[in-house]
Amino acid sequence: MSHILFPLEGLPEAMDTAWSGAVYYWDKETWRLHRPFDPADTTFERQFQIIDSTLIREVIAHLMSGYRLERRFSFTGKDWQLIYYAPLRQPVRIEVE
């Protein structure tokens, strides 16, 4: 918990019908701790994208459904902090005509 920057920016759970589409923040009081990623679980794939020396984007995807979650981490000078979280949700598809 000490490595999470609250209020944490991100997206709400996909079933959150009260969300207006504006900026969403997770709060410390309702945050659920995440389990470690299990690389032996072949139903999920994890990828990292290094944006720069202080920012990393992690995407964990369920290979069968296409659902994915995203976390972003920032290096503050002494440690890494979770700065963004979007829970498992169907990725947005853009229709091309």
Domain count, the chain: 1
Structural domain span for residue 86: 1-12+42-90
53-73 residue pLDDT tens: 999 999 999 998 888 999 999
4-45 residue pLDDT tens: 999 999 988 876 656 667 788 999 998 999 988 899 999 999
Q: Is residue 83 part of a domain?
A: yes
Q: Is residue 32 part of a domain?
A: no
Q: Is residue 53 part of a domain?
A: yes
Q: Is residue 80 part of a domain?
A: yes
Q: Is residue 95 part of a domain?
A: no
CA distance 61 to 4: 22
Q: Is 30 helix (H, G, I), strand (E, B) or coil?
A: helix
Q: Is residue 18 part of a domain?
A: no
Residue type, 37: F
